[in-house]
Amino acid sequence: MTDAVTPDTITKAIVQFECTGRAVGKMRNELDVYMTHPMQEGPFTLATDEGSFHGGDATAPPPLALFVGGLTGCIMTQLRAFAKRMGVPLTDLSVETRVQWDWEAQGKVYETAPKSFEIDILIDSEAPIEHQLELVAAAKKGCFIEQTLGQSNTIRHRLKSADGWIDAG
């Protein structure tokens, strides 16, 4: 498919992103992210780093900052895109997101678990509140990240060895 893919020209697709990361510096990672389907976009070059807790230099946001920013940006994008399609005028929009994880030391490492995701949506619109609620409902269903978080997911890890790929769980 070409860049001519629009909501009017496609009714169903697999959306695929790919990322290649390289370790550079103490804890810095440089990432090239691409959309590969249904159209090609990118590379989008991103970086992550950690602060002194993990021995990094804090030269870039930590991965969790990008994660929370991605969640916030995703719902905001859907709200803005769907508002146009649903005829809900937006004078202003802001979103405040809070994400919490439980963290527990386990010897020399630690384990984490998600605790809460809260997204406060502040819409300035002349549309009735019922239409704004319909917009939020549609945006929630259209936000790839929110839909991913709302499901139980299996994440496959493989480790490259001299003999090929090994399933790492």
Angle, CA of 125, 144 and 71, to the nearest 5°? 65
* Same domain, yes or no: 107 and 73: yes
* Same domain, yes or no: 44 and 106: no
| CATH number, domain containing residue 70 | 3.30.300.20
Contact assessment for residue 143 and residue 137, using Cβ atoms and an 8 Å cutoff = no
Query: Structurally, how many domains does the chain consist of?
Result: 2
* Same domain, yes or no: 86 and 148: yes
The pLDDT, as a whole number, for residue 121 is: 98
Residue 6 pLDDT exceeds 60: yes
* Same domain, yes or no: 69 and 56: no
- 137 located within any domain: yes
Residue 9 pLDDT exceeds 90: no
* Same domain, yes or no: 33 and 100: no
Q: What is the DSSP string of 18-60?
A: EEEEEEETTTEEEEEEEEEESS-EEEEEEEE---GGGT----S
* Same domain, yes or no: 72 and 148: yes
* Same domain, yes or no: 87 and 109: yes
Q: What is the pLDDT of residues 10-21, one digit of tens each?
A: 899 999 999 999
Q: What is the pLDDT of residues 106-152, one digit of tens each?
A: 999 999 999 999 999 999 999 999 999 999 999 999 999 999 999 99
CA distances from 2 to 10, 40, 41, 42, 70 (A): 11, 7, 10, 13, 25
* Global pTM value: 0.89
- 164 located within any domain: no
Q: Where does a domain end: 61, 86, 109?
A: 61
* Same domain, yes or no: 145 and 66: yes
Task: Give the residue with greater pLDDT, 54 vs 9.
Answer: 54
* Same domain, yes or no: 112 and 70: yes
The pLDDT, as a whole number, for residue 3 is: 55
Residue 2 pLDDT exceeds 60: no
* Same domain, yes or no: 20 and 74: no
- 56 located within any domain: yes
Q: What is the pLDDT of residues 27-84, one digit of tens each?
A: 999 999 999 999 999 999 999 999 999 999 999 999 999 999 999 999 999 999 999 9
- 168 located within any domain: no
The pLDDT, as a whole number, for residue 71 is: 98
Share above pLDDT 70 across residues of the chain, in percent, rounded to a whole number: 98
DSSP state of 77: H
- 160 located within any domain: no
* Same domain, yes or no: 53 and 70: no
Could you tell me the pLDDT band of residue 1, with boundaries at 50, 70 and 90? Answer: very low
- 57 located within any domain: yes
> Which residue range is the domain that position 48 belongs to?
1-61
To the nearest 5 percent, what fractions of the chain are helix, strand and coil?
Answer: 30, 40, 35
